[in-house]
Structure 1
C-alpha cells in the first residue's frame, strides 16, 4: 500500500497520496529493480539530472521494506581512502541540501559522530584517518578523552575498564536521519516527476538479446527496457545470477535493536570498534544500537542471540547509565559485502545492465550519492568519476579499495 502524507498532498492525479499505484506499462526507458533508498535515489536523479521520466521502480515487496527500514540511520563521510571519502562526502553534501530540495523534513540531525580509540594502535590509526580526511576536505578532528566527555558526558572515560577510551575521532557534520521519511520524500518526488513506483512486483528473470538486456520478467508480466539497474542490496547476487552475472559479494545478516523511550540523554553518535557497538538516540527517545554482522551467510532478516549479548555488554561498558534500559525490539537486515569492503556500482558484462551493490554496512549513509552515480551510469553509459573506482573490473585488475577496519566499526 502507499503511505498517506503526514505533511501536504501531492499535486497531480492522486493528491491524497505520497505516490500512486500504477499498473506496469509494457516498456520503459529505464527500469530500476529495488524500491529501497538507493533505488528511489537512482530514479530521482535519473529524472532530475538526466531528464528521464519514463522510468519504473520495481519492488518485490513494499517500498523501503528491506534494508532501508532495517538500519541504524548513521550518516558520515570520515572514510580513510580517497575514493571512499569522495563518494561519501558527496553523499553528505547532498544530505545537507535534500530536506529543502525535496520539501520534506526527514529529521536529518547533524549531531556529530564519535569513533572511539581504545589502544595505542587505535589512536595511531585514528590520527591517520583524521589527517587523511582533512586532506580530502572532510571535517574531522582527534579528541582527548576529556574532550570526548565534553561532547558526550555519558561515555565512561574511566581508565579502570577493560578497554579505556584513549581518544576519538569526531566528525561534527555527521549525524542521523529518519529512514522511512527519507524513502517517502524520494518516492513523493519521483511520483511528482512521472516515475512509476510499482510494488509487489518481483523480478523473476531477464529478457536478453544476445549479450544485451532488453527487459525483465516479473510476477506482473514482462516489462521491456534497454536500460536496467539492479539495486537490490542483500539479494544482489541472487538477482544478478538470473542475468548470468556472478557478483563477488556475500550476504550476511546484520542486526540492530532499540530500547523503550527515554528522555534525551545521548547528544551524539558513538561508535567503538574494540567493544563493537554503536549507539545513538532517535528523535522519539529510543536508544538505537548496532554491532557487527553475523559471520554466516544468509538471507534471513534476523540475527543471532550471541551478537545481541555481546552488543549489550559493550554498550554497558561504554554507557553505565544504560544499565536499567529495557530492550524493546530487535531486527535484522541483509548486507552484501565485497572482498574489499567497498561497493560495486556501474556496468556489468551484460550490455544495458547496471548494478549497485556491495555497500555492506554503509549503504544508508551513501543513499543520495549512490543514486547520483548510478543514475549517471544508466543515463550516459559511462562511469561517473566518483563511481569509476568502484567498477566490477577492479576485481580482475587488482585495484581494490580495502576499507576493512579503515573507516571504523560496522555502521
Structure 2
C-alpha cells in the first residue's frame, strides 16, 4: 500500500486508473444477477468469478456500494456462537477474514482485539460457561473468566458491586476482532470488477420475472435484463424484494442504532458487550468509541435515530465506564436489520427455481461476509447446497426445525 502511494506521488501521469470504473451500460443478459451491492452481494460476485470462473455477473444496487447495512454496522467479528452450526459457520468466516487483505490486495484493517460478553447474574454465568464449553468442543478459543481476571484484562471497567448490575464474570473470546467495513466492500468490488463482474450502482431492481416457476430476468430502473440465475442480498429489504419474486419470508425489519464519540487517546483494546444492559462498545483505530445496543422495539423501514436510544444507551455505558460522562458523541445512525424468529440467517434455495437468498442477518451480518460469499457462490455455480449452510434453509420454518441462536446473537454483535 505504501509503495503504491509513493509510485502515485512520483508519477507524472495523473490520475491513475480508478479503483472502480464508471457505471457500464446494461447488457441484455447475464448468467447471474445479484440484487444488493453490500458486502454479501459483492463477496458472492467476487468468489463466483475468482473460484468458479463465472464472470458474466452483474451486481445491482439502488444506492451506492456499501451504503446499506455494510456501511452502518459496527464491524465486530467473532465466532463464539451457541449452536454447532453457527459456531462452524462463523469460525470459517474468521479464517477467511484473516487472509482477506492479502487475497484482495486491499487493507481491510483486520485487528484481533478480544471479545468479552459480560455476565451480571448467576444465570448469565451458567450460559457463559455453556457457550464456552460448546466453543472449546468445536475448536473455538473461548473461556469463562471471573472478576479478578476480567479486571486485569479490562482495567478501566467498573467492577464495583454498588451498581444496579454488578459484573460477575465474562465469556472471553480472544480472537474477537474488528475490520474496516467499507474497505471490505470496496476490496471485494474492486477485485470482482477486475475479473469481469459488472457493478451497477444507482440501479434499482423494480421487478423479478418468473416464468413456469423459474427466474428469467429482472426489471430495473434502467431497463430490463435477462438472467439465468439470480440472488438477493438486501438485508432489511429482504421481505420486500422476496415479494417481487412471489414468495414471503419469516422476517421482520427493525432498526438498529449506534453512535461514535469524538476520538480519544486509546484506552480500550478489547470489545466489551453486555447482554443484560443491551450495550456494546469498542474503540476504533482512530480513537472513536463505537457504541450500540439492542434493536428498536418496533418494526419500521427507516434509518432515523432517536433521543430515546441515546439516553438509554449512555446510562448503561456510564455504568460500565463512569469516567466517560464528559465524552462528546460525534454522531449517531441506524441500519435496517432483517430479523428471523430463531435469530439465525436464511440462506440457499427458494420456491423459485434458480433464485437464491441470503437474508435474515439481523445484527450479525458483517462478520459473516466472506463465508456467505463463498457459500452462495458455490451454491449458484454448482447447484449444490454447501454443508455449512444447509441448516439455514428457508424450509426450516415450515417443518419447525428452528435454531436456538438467540442467546448468542441478539446483542452479541
Partner of 1:406: 408
Q: After TM superposition, list the pairs within 5 Å mapping 1:154-165 onto structure 2.
A: 154-165=156-167
Partner of 2:245: 243
Partner of 2:19: 18
What is the alpha-carbon distance in structure 1 between the residues aligned to residue 107 and residue 159 of structure 2? Answer: 35
Partner of 2:317: 315
- Out of 98-107 and 353-362, give the one that drifted further: 98-107
Partner of 2:46: 44
Contact 2:116–2:271 (8 Å) recurs in 1: yes
SS of aligned partner of 1:28: strand
Partner of 1:144: 146
Contact 1:61–1:200 (8 Å) recurs in 2: yes
SS of aligned partner of 1:101: helix
| Deviation (angstroms), 1:321 | 2.1
Contact 2:364–2:409 (8 Å) recurs in 1: no
Q: Deviations over 1:193-226 (max 9, x none)?
A: 1110110100000112110000100001111111
Contact 2:141–2:174 (8 Å) recurs in 1: yes
Q: After TM superposition, list the pairs within 5 Å mapping 1:334-349 onto structure 2.
A: 334-349=336-351
List 4+ stretches of structure 1 deviating above 4 A: 5-9
SS of aligned partner of 2:112: coil
Contact 1:111–1:267 (8 Å) recurs in 2: yes
Contact 2:294–2:410 (8 Å) recurs in 1: no
Q: Deviations over 1:78-119 (max 9, x none)?
A: 000011111111101100111111111111110111110000
| Deviation (angstroms), 1:274 | 0.9
The answer to whether the aligner puts 1:204 opposite 2:196 as a matched pair is: no
What is the alpha-carbon distance in structure 2 between the residues aligned to residue 354 and residue 99 of structure 1? Answer: 28
SS of aligned partner of 1:116: strand
What is the alpha-carbon distance in structure 2 between the residues aligned to residue 410 and residue 141 of structure 1? Answer: 15
- Out of 372-381 and 163-172, give the one that drifted further: 372-381
What is the alpha-carbon distance in structure 2 between the residues aligned to residue 295 and residue 31 of structure 1? Answer: 34
SS of aligned partner of 1:242: helix
Partner of 1:220: 222
What is the alpha-carbon distance in structure 1 between the residues aligned to residue 52 and residue 401 of structure 2? Answer: 30
What is the alpha-carbon distance in structure 1 between the residues aligned to residue 80 and residue 312 of structure 2? Answer: 26
SS of aligned partner of 1:214: strand
Match of 2:286 among 268, 284, 301: 284
Partner of 1:74: 76
What is the alpha-carbon distance in structure 2 between the residues aligned to residue 251 and residue 157 of structure 1? Answer: 36
| Deviation (angstroms), 1:304 | 3.1
What is the alpha-carbon distance in structure 1 between the residues aligned to residue 151 and residue 171 of structure 2? Answer: 13
Match of 2:106 among 104, 107, 113: 104
Which 5+ residue runs of structure 2 have no aligned equivalent? 9-14
| Deviation (angstroms), 1:153 | 1.1
Contact 1:78–1:407 (8 Å) recurs in 2: no
| Deviation (angstroms), 1:40 | 0.7
SS of aligned partner of 1:397: coil
Q: After TM superposition, list the pairs within 5 Å mapping 1:348-367 onto structure 2.
A: 348-367=350-369
TM-score by length of 2: 0.95
Partner of 1:31: 33
Aligned residue pair count: 403
Q: Deviations over 1:246-305 (max 9, x none)?
A: 011000000100001111011110000111110000111110001000011111012332
| Deviation (angstroms), 1:408 | 6.0
Which 5+ residue runs of structure 1 have no aligned equivalent? none
| Deviation (angstroms), 1:307 | 2.0
| Deviation (angstroms), 1:28 | 0.8
